[in-house]
Structure 1
């Protein structure tokens, strides 16, 4: 099994779509046998979901993640454990022990504040004008995050 965490400054990056790196953990027989940090090759939920699928990731442990990223990962067959902060190593250890607690999905990962033009955390840049209906709430973004 391969577990990934969005990674920045030795912590789980809280903005999935803007993660500069991912830390990948190879798990065999319930134990981590290898971990490696790799640079991403883009940003935004579609690019990162494809990137993780290309690396055969099975599970993503993450912090803030938007609806568009959730859908993209699901379409790639990747499970998620959202709302996790802190050490990636500790999170994976807890996952394997069955004690990792997922937090609430925080929408777009913006921490409750709104972004100006070009600053959307979902990877769309916050510039789309079309309106989308995600989980019954009206939003702009065209990316499925509903936060713009």
Structure 2
């Protein structure tokens, strides 16, 4: 498979395409054939060497993807193979394949393109967590979000 690797901190010019064997899912994991990967602020900061949670370089960024489940690991329903999904990856998404825990994979809504679906996981779930889970927003309530500087504010 191909991966877009960041060998050192820098701008987009540092990206390199490298070949690697396809990853195999372990217990509780799925292998996704990536159709689209989001470009997230964490990915940009990681490429610049400014994201403390990023894997050490050389690394593959890509925090969110959409694609098709290709293979399932032990303990995962094999009928998921062939399912269109979106996923949070914790990096590694700028590749032909990515392996992630099943709990980080969600069915792709039919109405969304793969490109639109790849832009959802991190921004949507971060906003939902902040507004609904932590902020306590309930049905019927209204909030104002102003001065947003990125996908999550």
TM-score range relative to shorter protein: under 0.3
Higher gyration radius (CA): 2
Q: Which has the higher contact order (CA 8 A, sep 6+)?
A: 2
User: TM-score scaled by structure 1?
Assistant: 0.27
